[in-house]
Structure 1
């Protein structure tokens, strides 16, 4: 019996060993075939080249989509330089109507469609924050730049006077409509506050910016060492006419777009995404730049502007943006030495959060081309057409520089906001731990008091039992 069992078990082992060997050999085949596939999947030189070309195309496409506006600025200036008769005033397409009116109306109509009414209503009551941003953008910056340019004139700085007057006009314009909102969102700041102040600043700019330019114009021309600036950039400003034209081209399209957005919120949101209205607005802005530079090139206004003058304006704008951003940061945070003064609650209450500070920095330091170029066109429409191009150059350069510096600033502020959030979370966690420890201490003290009371009651009951037993000995039996 044992031999039969051993034989049967041996036979079973033999029969099961064959498929195991087959399976093992099959696995070996799979491994060999996979190795052969890996060896076959080695890329040929042509495929490597095609992959490199695809990577180059994808990176070029991403760079183009990110910086297409800057490239468009360069192309529009080149076209204006080569073909000034096309986009100039009274040119082939009559740009004074087709572009300088039509493009401006389209830009602010799209701005009205893009402003979300619900978000604006939510942040409407934050009066102190809005007041701080508008005071920085429309009061502190214009008057500081005005005083500095007057100082440059007194010191006879070797820079073209029209360009320096253009710097003052650029400082008098309101904040941008869209770029500050996008950069605030990318830096994890308060997007709603940025959106509210973009709308509020451009509405206020219709009234405030012409008033500032009219106030600054006389002292600037009087202090200018060049005589031609008095003839080209001088003259009295017809404030009523300026408000009328800006109201028709800027305020009315903005209000109409906002009313359409309120009445048809969902269809407008879908239409805005489908038709890429933000890109349409930027393209219209490029058309305005093309027309302005066409006028300047046709009039020969840039013949008096040297390369060193443009370089000086670029450096000046660079310093301005950094200074304005840091000033906005200081006024929003109001830092003070806590180790010396201790914590001042009234000053802590005036400080804004890091998210609000990001909105203050971008809305306070940026300036809009969409509002500035129409303003210059309206203010100096009776003068030399080429003057508008020279006066617009500092604003255009500032717009380009604020886009470059703003995108760098986004990465820095994003990390700063993230650190603030982590600190708040750590503080909340510490507070929760402190609350839990205090609760545990309370429970332990309550438990100890209950134990003491139980011990006292037990002791009292024991004493009473002993006394009963002492006085009534028969009860214990």
Structure 2
């Protein structure tokens, strides 16, 4: 069996973290380069590009598969948080506080966009359903992710300035998305022709935010205060989280009798989380926290393992679809 190719972006993320650990001074908040400005304006840039490339007409084809849509939204924003809360109740002190917050942050994030659609396509699932829900999930996440985090942090006793955070989300996230949508009137053709460069710019900004977050964490001694084994523990935790949610979704879709193509779309879209939303949104939600690097580490590791695991699952589904297609003529 051929192993899936490792995403170069994953390697770039690892390089950004290693660079921050080795040379944190340029990326520290208030440092010579004022990296926090890059982070702030970078967040606006990421969501402006998202709005610019968001084509509402692509959602229409899958609009009426309401059972699949409901299953994905419930899994993404309800099942995931409940699973994390259940695991936290069983293992309340298994990880540092920032890492535990990071796990709930993973649970509160929307589903991925491009990778979900790509994997559903590879697995011969319902592509219109994947497109519709990847887009819907990202838009809902702009509102639901900060609200879920506000509830979680306040219920756990951590201070969370809700109104200032919502104001920042509106200014740094929602407004750029709306401006991007307005800009499509003149720039849609340009964006389509230059999709590769837009994707590179988007990823470069995400890498800059990751570098800055880890630089601040290094400067504040977050990593020297915690055992390096915590990285391994987080990795094991995100793998466990993925498989628990994936198993629940698989059982649920079979109980509700969804057709095979819809079931694949729900399994893949419902079990994945968006690094592209999680990293830019983190400086907005967790502004002023020196341990943002540790908070976003779970979503970075989850991103890597979800791509790896789903690649194998999608390849298996593709082989099954080919076998089914090949068997039909002989049955006839």
TM-score (norm 2): 0.90
Structure 2 matches for 1:54-93, cutoff 5 A?
Answer: 67-93=7-33
SS of structure 2 residue aligned to 1:188? coil
Structure 2 counterpart of 1:394: 298
Residue 238 in structure 1 maps to residue 161 in structure 2: yes
Structure 1 counterpart of 2:201: 280
SS of structure 2 residue aligned to 1:363? helix
Structure 1 counterpart of 2:311: 407
Q: What is the alpha-carbon distance in structure 2 between the residues aligned to residue 254 and residue 356 of structure 1?
A: 29
Shift of 1:106: 2.3
1:90-111: CA deviations, max 9, x gaps? Answer: 122212221x222222222222
- Please tell me whether the aligned partners of residues 70 and 400 of structure 1 are also in contact (alpha carbons under 8 angstroms): yes
Structure 2 matches for 1:256-335, cutoff 5 A?
Answer: 256-261=179-184, 265-272=188-195, 275-334=196-255
- Please tell me whether the aligned partners of residues 206 and 280 of structure 2 are also in contact (alpha carbons under 8 angstroms): no
Structure 1 counterpart of 2:115: 179
Where do 5+ consecutive residues of structure 1 fail to align? 1-61, 222-233, 335-349, 431-477
Q: What is the alpha-carbon distance in structure 1 between the residues aligned to residue 125 and residue 49 of structure 2?
A: 24
Tell me which structure has the larger Cα radius of gyration: 1
- Please tell me whether the aligned partners of residues 16 and 210 of structure 2 are also in contact (alpha carbons under 8 angstroms): yes
Q: What is the alpha-carbon distance in structure 2 between the residues aligned to residue 171 and residue 378 of structure 1?
A: 17
- Give the direction of change, closer, same or farther, for the CA distance of 1:107–1:420 in structure 2 (3 Å limit): farther
Q: What is the alpha-carbon distance in structure 1 between the residues aligned to residue 236 and residue 153 of structure 2?
A: 23
1:430-463: CA deviations, max 9, x gaps? Answer: 4xxxxxxxxxxxxxxxxxxxxxxxxxxxxxxxxx
Structure 2 counterpart of 1:355: 261
Structure 2 counterpart of 1:165: 101
SS of structure 1 residue aligned to 2:19? helix
Q: 1:109 pairs with 20, 28, 48, which one?
A: 48
SS of structure 1 residue aligned to 2:223? helix
SS of structure 1 residue aligned to 2:111? coil
- Give the direction of change, closer, same or farther, for the CA distance of 1:396–1:413 in structure 2 (3 Å limit): same
- Please tell me whether the aligned partners of residues 116 and 130 of structure 2 are also in contact (alpha carbons under 8 angstroms): yes
Q: What is the alpha-carbon distance in structure 2 between the residues aligned to residue 84 and residue 353 of structure 1?
A: 51
CA-based RMSD: 2.4
Q: What is the alpha-carbon distance in structure 1 between the residues aligned to residue 8 and residue 252 of structure 2?
A: 34
SS of structure 2 residue aligned to 1:207? helix
Q: What is the alpha-carbon distance in structure 1 between the residues aligned to residue 325 and residue 110 of structure 2?
A: 31
Structure 2 counterpart of 1:443: none
- Please tell me whether the aligned partners of residues 88 and 295 of structure 1 are also in contact (alpha carbons under 8 angstroms): yes
1:290-323: CA deviations, max 9, x gaps? Answer: 1111110111111122122221111111111122
Q: What is the alpha-carbon distance in structure 2 between the residues aligned to residue 269 and residue 320 of structure 1?
A: 36
Shift of 1:426: 5.4
1 or 2 for the larger relative contact order (CA 8 Å, sep ≥6)?
2
Residue 146 in structure 1 maps to residue 85 in structure 2: yes
Q: What is the alpha-carbon distance in structure 2 between the residues aligned to residue 403 and residue 332 of structure 1?
A: 21
Structure 1 counterpart of 2:127: 191
- Please tell me whether the aligned partners of residues 187 and 358 of structure 1 are also in contact (alpha carbons under 8 angstroms): yes
Shift of 1:333: 2.6
Q: What is the alpha-carbon distance in structure 2 between the residues aligned to residue 71 and residue 329 of structure 1?
A: 30
- Give the direction of change, closer, same or farther, for the CA distance of 1:380–1:260 in structure 2 (3 Å limit): closer
Shift of 1:172: 1.2
SS of structure 2 residue aligned to 1:276? helix
- Please tell me whether the aligned partners of residues 86 and 92 of structure 1 are also in contact (alpha carbons under 8 angstroms): yes
The count of residues paired between Structure 1 and Structure 2 equals 329
Q: What is the alpha-carbon distance in structure 2 between the residues aligned to residue 97 and residue 283 of structure 1?
A: 15
1:402-433: CA deviations, max 9, x gaps? Answer: 1222222221222233345456x459x74xxx
TM-score (norm 1): 0.64
Structure 1 counterpart of 2:171: 248
Q: 1:216 pairs with 141, 146, 152, which one?
A: 152
